[in-house]
Amino acid sequence: MKLDRTLANDIKKQANGDGSRDAKFAFLKRVKAAKKTLSTTQVQTAYNTALKEFGRVPVAVCTAVTILERQDRLNEYAVKWAWEVLKLWTNRPRDILVACIDDGLHPTRIEEYAGDFIRLTTEDR
């Protein structure tokens, strides 16, 4: 599993910033805002809105954390993608569950609403 180079570089730049505490909290603020937008039962339509409003990196982080939280019910492809995203987010808080989407849907539904995004952000299919 290999992430798209553009997404990987964006994660390194945006999520980690300069490695400072201020950069960490600035990015975390964007992630929490994206999580709030995505935490709805209408996440299917909110997903595209969040991508436009917050960008790919905060949405990717929220999606990755949510996938790992539900990994026992998801396919291996999505879980590998999530691990690749989190490997690149090195300036993260101890409790990454602050980015976990609370959509109130069945755990496997994330593969439906985030599936296209996951496929589009990987190089090897």
pLDDT digits (tens, 9 = 90+) for 67-100: 999 999 999 999 999 999 999 999 999 999 999 9
Residue 5, number of CB atoms within 10 A of its CB: 9
With H, G, I as helix, E, B as strand and everything else as coil, classify residue 4: coil
- Average pLDDT for 103-124: 94
Q: Longest Cα pair distance anywhere in the chain, in angstroms?
A: 37
pTM, rounded to two decimals: 0.94
pLDDT digits (tens, 9 = 90+) for 20-76: 999 999 999 999 999 999 999 999 999 999 999 999 999 999 999 999 999 999 999
The identity of residue 37, as a single letter, is T
Domain ranges in the chain?
A: 5-120
Query: Helix count (H) and strand count (E) of the chain?
Result: 8, 0
